[in-house]
Structure formats: C-alpha cells, structure tokens
C-alpha cells in the first residue's frame, strides 16, 4: 500500500471500539453484524490467520491482533488497545446520550435507534477511495500528485515509498529489506522525526540524514528544499539497486547514531566535535564527517579518522572565531570530500591537507586569530552572538581547568553562564576618561568605546553575579570575581591591578594563545 496505512489502522480500531459498545447495550443482532462484517472476514472463506480485514507491518502484527481480539485488552497493553478503548468509550457515551438524534425508522427508539443511526453513518457517509492501476502505471507518481493537494509527506517518506516500490519491481524481498534496513526508523520514530537545526534550516533528523547521505553519494551540493526530486534523479541516473541504496543509507544512519552516542563507533572526542558543529548549525560539514565514520578501519584507521574530524572542528571553529564568512561552505566541504574519496590511502590525512590548502577560505593561523581578537567587535551588532562566545570562552576555561592540578575538579554548565563586560558598556558612569586636553580625551574615549566589545574585555559569570558587577569600578569587580567565581578564566584576571584598553589588548593576545591549545591551527604538529 502506497499511502493510508495509519488511516486504515485507525478506522479498524474505531470500528472495533464501536462493536464493543454495541455488544454491551441492547441492540439488534443485525446492527452488530453490519459492523462485524467491516472488521472481520467470513470464517468460512478465509484462513484463520486472515480473519481480520487488516494486516499491519510484521513488527506490530501481534500487538494489533491482540488488540482486535474478541476480548477487549487492557488499554496499557499497546497503543492499539488504548485506541480501541478510546473509541469504545466514545461510542458508549453516544449511545447513552438522550440528546443525540435517533433513527426514525427504528420503532422503539432509545439506544437501538441511536445505534442504528451510528451504523448507518459508518456504512453510508464514510468513503474510501481505491485506485486500481495497470502494469504501466507508476503508483508513486500518482501518489505524489494526489498527496501534493493535501499535507505533504516528508522527503524521507517519499524516498521510502519509492525505494520499496522499486525493490518490489526488481523482485527483492521487500518485507525482509524493511525488517533489516528500514524498521529502525519506524521503531525509533520519535528520535528520527525530531526537528534539529534553527530557522529555515530546521527539519526532521531523518531528512538531514537523507540529505547528508545523498550529498556523499552524488559528490556535489544538492537543493535540500527539493530533496526527494534530487534523490529520484540520482536513483534514475545511477541505476542504483534499491537494496544497495538502503544498505548504504543504513550505514550512514549507524554513523549518525554513533556521533550522537546512541551506538558504538565514534570516539568521545569525535562525538563532541559532531555535537559542537551541529550546535553551530554548520550543516555543510556533516556529509564529510559521516563519510569518514562509515569507512572501514583497514582503509581509515580510527586514530587517523579522529585526527581528521578534529581538523574539521578546528577549521570551522577558528574561522568562526576569526569572523570569516561561511557562505561557500557547501561547495568547500564537497570539494574536501572529493579529495578524500580520491585518496587511494590515508583519506583522513587527505582531508587535513585539503583543509590546509584552501585558498580564499583558509584555515586561520595564530597571527590571523590574534589580529581578529585585537581589532574585531565580538559582542552585540556585528559580533558573534552570545552562544558562540560561550563556546569559545567556555572551551578555554575548560582547558585551563585541566591545566590546574592543584584546583578542585569541577563540572561547569557553560551554557547557563552569561557574557560579562569587564570594562562595562556604560563606562561613562564609573570609568570615565580623565584627560584634560579635549582632542586627546576624544581620541581616548573613541579607543575605549571600540575596546568595550572586543573579546579581550569579555568573560563568563553566573546570571546572579552579572547584575552585581554591572557598572562597578574595576577594584569592586575584581574582588567580586575573586570571591564568587570558580572559573580559571576569571582567576587569571586577579593578576591585573587595573583594567584599561592596554589590558584588553593583552588579554586578547592571551586568549588567542589559549585558542591555539584548544583548537590547534594548520601548522600544528598534530596534523602530521
């Protein structure tokens, strides 16, 4: 069946619930028999295992048969049993309600008259459309045309229907393919259907998987807004066997789950990198990362693979920190993927070398980061955004914590912290420039205003400490930070007896040095 599985299953449970209600009240056998024929086949015509009108997919068949049995099951046994009980109760309420209409042709009135009207509605007003196709007709094309006039299915639903229809045409065991290569998506549908991404890029996790897999197969960028059309063209052009397509898609699903710590396969550091890039919504990287994880160990050893994943993470994080643009990332990472695929050996190292040699979209060096930290605005309009600042400053603090063996081991939720300006944004109140010469004072004030939103002037504090610091003078802020903050990022501030533009520049250089430890640059020895 191409479409309507859920509707027909729900309809059968509704009819079974109505039949339960009819059997509990005094109604004619004819009325009950009319509904029973809609639920069950004639026992004299069919086998015992075909008694029910509907047979759902194999994974749910036992639960459905129990829920449709003669004895009503407990509602907590399955979602089918719960639905049957729900419809039974609604039918009972209807039959017991003296205010609802009755069938005027039932002489005695009462529940039997209301039951007659209810059954007449089920038999006469509910319509089911069946389309019979010839061998030359394409069920998928007809389904797409009809479905386009209603709520569209997801791209993954359309791909599933197409693949299994092609599999049947090629005489594959579609039931076996479903059980081994697709059932996981239905059994864990809540996770696979969960929306990820932000804004216009938000879509179901299974649709992201399909897009990333297809990019890796095609070796080029695709229009994710036309994902099904792109897939169908690929399937037609490549003449790929549906079984092979399902098998490789399943491997990518394994990789996706491994990166999300739902199965083994990715190292903790690889999963951390994946989640960080996903948090930044840099979706263009994912096809390359998934491709790396599906490579066999004899072609790409785990240590080399992890090094490649960390190089990708460093590339995107350092570019973000330097405030470089991301507009061409889709093509950039497709090109890197092509170079990795073309490598006869060491594909992980090929990824690193491809990132190193990018021209125009380079991997920022230490000098590039230092210059950006000294000159760029990082907070407010034209800045990085507070979540990205938390990522950078939080990672630096975590690194500092690991380098402080004498300090207690603490776990910090950096996402709950707020960005604090050491030199306050409203600096005119407590941090005014005291220079007599008007021209010199104007230049000093301009420099101070430019310095306020540079990264060297930013730190992390709790939401309770933030308002307490506010526009206070440096000596007050310094004392409060020393008293209340457990961050090594703030402990380093205690060394400063004063705070001004020179200190902000100095701390900007220091933060660039810390970045080099957390996310090594392109010339680092770690990359080989």
Higher pLDDT, 10 or 429: 10
- Which pLDDT value is given to residue 165? 86
Which of the four pLDDT bands, split at 50, 70 and 90, describes residue 115?
Answer: confident
More confident call, 407 vs 506: 506
Per-residue model confidence (pLDDT) at position 122:
86
pLDDT at 139 over 70: no
Mean pLDDT of 120-146: 67
Q: CB–CB of 83/6 below 8 Å? A: no
Q: Once rounded to an integer, what is the mean pLDDT over residues 329-335? A: 94
Residue 163: Cβ-neighbour burial (10 angstroms; 0-12, 13-18, 19+)? buried
Output the pLDDT for position 180. 92
pLDDT at 466: 78
Question: Would the pLDDT of 525 be above 80?
Answer: yes
Residue 519's alpha-carbon distances to 157, 160, 363, 399, 522, in angstroms, are 39, 40, 11, 11, 10
Give the residue from 133, 117, 118, 164 showing the smallest Cα distance to 17.
118
191 touches 205 (CB < 8 A): yes
Residue 44: pLDDT over 80:
no
More confident: 398 or 464: 398
Q: What is the pLDDT of residue 104?
A: 77
Give pLDDT, residue 355: 96
DSSP code string of 121-147: HHHHT---------TT--HHHHHHHHH
In the structure, what pLDDT confidence band is assigned to residue 58 with cuts at 50, 70 and 90?
Answer: low
pLDDT for residue 240: 93
Averaged pLDDT, 280-293: 95
Please report which confidence band the pLDDT of residue 3 belongs to, taking 50, 70 and 90 as the band edges.
low
Share of the chain above pLDDT 70, in %: 94
pLDDT at 141: 56
Question: What are the tens digits of pLDDT across the range 201-249?
Answer: 788 899 999 999 999 999 888 887 788 889 999 999 999 999 999 999 9
Mean pLDDT of all residues belonging to the chain: 88
Chain centroid, CA 362 distance in Å: 28
Q: Indicate whether 118 pLDDT > 90.
A: no
- Per-residue pLDDT, averaged over 418-434, amounts to 87
pLDDT digits (tens, 9 = 90+) for 342-394: 999 999 999 999 999 987 789 999 999 999 999 999 999 889 999 999 999 99
Res. 89: pLDDT tops 70: yes
Give, in order, the Cα–Cα distances in Å from 485 to each of 388, 393, 492: 21, 14, 11
In the block, tokens 């490579």 appear at 295
The beta strands (E) that lie in 38-137 are given as: none
pLDDT of 146 reads: 57
Q: Average of pLDDT values for 286-305?
A: 97
pLDDT above 80 for 439: yes
pLDDT of 145 > 90? The answer is: no
Residue 58 has which token pair? 């194999």
Strands 418-421 and 203-204: unpaired
CA distance 319 to 369: 9
Distance (Å, whole) CA 460 – CA 249: 42
Is 461 a residue whose pLDDT tops 80?
Answer: yes
Range 433-448 average pLDDT: 88
- pLDDT recorded at residue 64: 85
> What value does the mean pLDDT take over residues 89-111?
81
**Angle at CA 269, nearest 5°, toward 277 and 357?**
60
Q: What integer pLDDT is reported at residue 150 of this predicted model?
A: 54
Distances (CA, A) of 92 to 23, 39, 76: 10, 18, 20
What local confidence, expressed as pLDDT, does residue 353 receive?
96
Give the contacts of 511 (CB within 8 A, at least 6 positions apart).
Answer: 373, 396, 455, 456
The pTM assigned to this predicted structure is 0.76
């Amino acid at each position: 069946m191409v479409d309507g599985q859920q509707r027909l299953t729900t309809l059968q449970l509704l009819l079974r619930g109505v039949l339960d209600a009819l059997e509990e009240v005094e109604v004619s056998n004819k009325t009950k028999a009319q509904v029973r024929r809609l639920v069950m086949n004639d026992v004299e015509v069919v086998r015992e295992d075909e008694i029910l009108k509907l047979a759902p997919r194999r994974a749910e068949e036992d639960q459905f048969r129990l829920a449709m049995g003669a004895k009503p099951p407990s509602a907590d046994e399955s979602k089918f049993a719960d639905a049957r009980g729900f419809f039974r109760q609604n039918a009972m309420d209807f039959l017991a309600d003296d205010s609802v209409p009755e069938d005027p042709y039932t002489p005695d009135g009462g529940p039997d008259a209301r039951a007659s009207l209810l059954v007449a509605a089920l038999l006469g007003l509910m319509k089911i459309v069946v389309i019979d196709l010839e061998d030359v007709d394409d069920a998928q094309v007809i389904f797409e045309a009809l479905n386009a006039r209603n709520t569209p299915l997801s791209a993954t639903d359309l791909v599933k229907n197409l693949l299994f229809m092609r599999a049947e045409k090629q005489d594959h065991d579609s039931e076996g393919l479903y059980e081994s290569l697709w059932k996981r998506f239905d059994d864990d549908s809540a996770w696979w259907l969960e929306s990820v991404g932000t804004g216009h890029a938000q879509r179901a996790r299974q649709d992201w998987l399909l897009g990333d897999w297809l990019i890796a197969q095609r070796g080029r960028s695709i229009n994710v807004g036309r994902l099904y059309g792109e897939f169908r063209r690929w399937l037609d052009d490549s003449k790929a066997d549906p079984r092979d397509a399902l098998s490789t898609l399943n491997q990518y699903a394994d990789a996706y789950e491994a990166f999300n710590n739902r199965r083994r396969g990715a190292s903790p550091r690889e999963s951390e990198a994946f989640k960080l890039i996903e948090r930044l919504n840099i979706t263009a990287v994912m096809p390359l990362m998934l491709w790396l994880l599906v490579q066999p160990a004899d072609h790409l050893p785990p240590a080399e693979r992890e090094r490649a994943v960390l190089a990708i993470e460093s590339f995107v994080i350092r570019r973000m920190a330097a405030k470089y643009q991301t507009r061409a990332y889709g093509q950039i990472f497709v090109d890197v993927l092509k170079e990795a695929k073309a490598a006869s050996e060491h594909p992980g190292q090929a990824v690193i070398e491809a990132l190193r040699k990018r021209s125009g979209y380079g991997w920022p060096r230490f000098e590039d980061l230092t210059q950006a930290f000294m000159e760029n605005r990082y907070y407010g309009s034209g800045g990085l955004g507070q979540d990205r600042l938390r990522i950078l400053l939080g990672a630096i603090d975590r690194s500092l914590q690991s380098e402080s063996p004498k300090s207690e081991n603490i776990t910090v939720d950096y996402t709950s912290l707020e960005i604090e300006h050491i030199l306050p944004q409203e600096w005119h109140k407590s941090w005014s420039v005291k220079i007599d010469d008007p021209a010199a004072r104007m230049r000093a004030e301009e420099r101070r205003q430019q310095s306020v939103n540079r990264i060297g002037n930013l730190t992390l504090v709790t939401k309770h400490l933030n308002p307490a610091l506010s526009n206070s003078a440096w000596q007050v802020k310094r004392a409060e930070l020393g008293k209340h903050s457990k961050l090594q990022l703030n402990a380093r501030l205690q060394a400063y007896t004063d705070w001004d533009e020179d200190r902000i520049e100095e701390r900007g250089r220091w933060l660039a040095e810390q970045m080099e430890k957390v996310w090594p640059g392109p010339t680092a020895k770690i990359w080989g």
